[in-house]
Amino acid sequence: DGGITQSPKYLFRKEGQNVTLSCEQNLNHDAMYWYRQDPGQGLRLIYYSQIVNDFQKGDIAEGYSVSREKKESFPLTVTSAQKNPTAFYLCASSTRLPGQGETQYFGPGTRLLVL
C-alpha cells in the first residue's frame, strides 16, 4: 500500500522532555510537511522540506526541529522549548502532477499530550 504513516498514534511527554514524531512516506514525493492542528485554528505549518537535506521553517517553528536525511522520512522533534506542545500533529507530502501543480496528501496524525 502506498501512503504516509505516522507513529505513534498517541504520545505522552513529560515536562522538559524532548520527543520525536515519526513520518514515513512511500509515495516517492519530494516535498514533506509538518502541521499542528489545534481546535478552531486549522492547520498551522511548522516545517517543510522540498528536498533531501533541506528544510524551511513554517509559521510556528519555535520549539520544534526536523531532519530530512532520507527522501521517505521527515521526523519532527518537539523540544522542551515548546511551551504548549499538546496538539494533533499532521505530516503530509506533496507531488507536482503534470499540468496541475502541487497536491498534498496527509498521514493519520499523532496526538501529543503533555503530562
Partner 1 sequence: AQSVSQHNHHVILSEAASLELGCNYSYGGTVNLFWYVQYPGQHLQLLLKYFSGDPLVKGIKGFEAEFIKSKFSFNLRKPSVQWSDTAEYFCAVNGWAGNQFYFGTGTSLTVIP
Contact map string, positions 40 to 59, toward partner 1, x by CB under 8 A: xxxxxx--x-x-------x-
Q: Does 107 bind partner 1 (CB under 8 A)?
A: yes
Please return the burial class of 99, using the count of CB atoms within 10 Å of its CB with bins 0-12, 13-18 and 19+: exposed
Site for partner 1 in 68-97 (CB under 8 A): 90, 92, 94
Binding site for partner 1 (CB under 8 A): 31, 33, 35, 40-45, 48, 50, 58, 90, 92, 94, 99-109
